[in-house]
Structure 1
């Protein structure tokens, strides 16, 4: 299984743009330096009252399809 580690700091207001469908893709830099793009929708399970802040592991299956996200810090 493939994975990418990203640190995200997205304010509540910025995530609201994702939630309302105004923005559909998140672009972030992984801890290994790669630039990654992923659907904002996958973050809905990790958003809190203050937005999204922390380090996350994003997992992909053997077909490179999203398999899960978890907060690791």
Structure 2
């Protein structure tokens, strides 16, 4: 299994674009410096009134298919 770690700080106002469906994916730079893109829907369970904030580990299988996401901090 492969994983990436990303630091996210998506304010609630920006998250509304994902919520409404006008934006479907999140683009971020992982800790290795590589730009990654993943479906916003994988973060739904981490949304608070202030948006999505924290350090997340995103896990993929050997075919780079999403498996799970864990909030580390």
- CA displacement at 1:46 relative to structure 2: 1.2
TM-score, scaled relative to structure 1: 0.94
TM-score, scaled relative to structure 2: 0.94
Match in the other structure for 1:14: 14
Structure 1: runs of 5+ lacking an equivalent: none
Could you list the structure 1 runs, at least 4 aligned residues long, displaced by more than 3 angstroms after superposition: none
Deviations 1:16-48 (A, max 9, x none): 110110101111000110000011111111111
Match in the other structure for 2:26: 26
Count residues in correspondence: 73
CA RMSD of aligned residues (A): 0.7
Structure 2: runs of 5+ lacking an equivalent: none
Note the 1:32-47 alignment, pairs <5 A: 32-47=32-47
